[in-house]
């Protein structure tokens, strides 16, 4: 009956790592839509309501707002023709009460790409574990300031313009986002090699696997 169906859905949600929460707006979240339609948290802004709650994490997928599912298979195709999954998610959030915004997220815990960055000047290689799809490498590195010292990878600009964070991808290129035109232009301007990517513009697109990189040599 209906009760059994509800219990089955609850079990499925628990197994998937779904977490329901109620937050006050403005949430202080930056959301991003991945190529497969999933909407994920790419930034939790400091001193925001979401940060204060301690409940939202980088890489969490927004699966419902209120009682409305926002997963790709729950949004009618004709609706997607009018707006993106991200647009629908933001619209549903805007319709939630200011002090009672209910969202459901799917945790990225237990999954994620592992990135190894070659140590600089004889230092040990460093590891970033659990990289969630859609969250750029810069976000993870700035959360651990010691990584820059150990790898020589630094961030000097707003986004993909200075080239100081260029690294050569040695393994796992297929697990990573594709470079956009701005990144390609910057890599060309610094004379980086064909395997180079900018860590500030690079994120995982897979939910598991290993990537290995090292700081790129510049010829300009």
Confidence of residue 111 (pLDDT cuts 50, 70, 90): low
> Can you tell me whether residue 77 is helix, strand or coil?
helix
The CATH number that applies at residue 194 is 3.10.20.30
- 220 located within any domain: no
Quick one: which of 162, 166, 172 has its CA closest to 153? 166
**H/E stretch holding 15:** helix 2-16
DSSP state of 199: G
- 152 located within any domain: yes
Containing structural domain, residue 7: 2-106
Q: What is the pLDDT of residue 23?
A: 94
User: Domain boundary at 106, 132, 165, which?
Assistant: 106
Residue 10 scores a pLDDT above 60: no
Q: What is the mean pLDDT of residues 152-176?
A: 93
The 3 state secondary structure assigned to 116-167 is: EECCCCCCCCEEEEEECECCEHHHHHHCCCHHHHHHCCCCCCCCCCCCCCEE
Virtual CA dihedral for 174, 179, 184, 185, nearest 10 degrees? -170
Q: What is the pLDDT of residue 135?
A: 81
Regarding whether 102 and 129 lie in a shared domain, the answer is no
- 56 located within any domain: yes
Q: What is the pLDDT of residue 77?
A: 77
């Amino acid at each position: 009956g209906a009760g059994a169906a509800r219990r089955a859905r609850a079990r499925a949600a628990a197994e998937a790592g779904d977490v329901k929460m109620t937050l006050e707006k403005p949430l202080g979240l930056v959301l991003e839509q991945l190529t497969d339609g999933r909407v994920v948290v790419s930034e939790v802004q400091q001193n925001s309501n979401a940060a204060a709650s301690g409940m939202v994490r980088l890489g969490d997928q927004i699966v419902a707002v209120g009682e409305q599912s926002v997963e790709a298979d729950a949004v009618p195709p004709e609706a997607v023709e009018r707006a993106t999954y991200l647009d629908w998610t933001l619209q549903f959030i805007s319709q939630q009460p200011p002090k009672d915004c209910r969202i459901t997220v799917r945790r990225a815990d237990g999954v994620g790409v592992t990135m190894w960055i070659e140590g600089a000047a004889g230092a040990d290689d460093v590891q970033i574990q659990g990289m969630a799809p859609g969250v750029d490498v810069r976000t993870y590195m700035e959360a651990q300031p010691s990584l820059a010292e150990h790898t020589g990878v630094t961030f000097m600009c707003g986004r993909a313009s200075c080239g100081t964070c260029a690294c050569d991808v040695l393994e796992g290129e297929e697990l990573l986002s594709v470079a956009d035109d701005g990144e390609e232009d910057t890599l060309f301007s610094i004379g980086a090699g064909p395997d180079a990517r900018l860590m500030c513009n690079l994120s995982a697109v897979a939910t598991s696997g290993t990537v290995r990189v090292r700081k790129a040599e510049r010829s300009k």
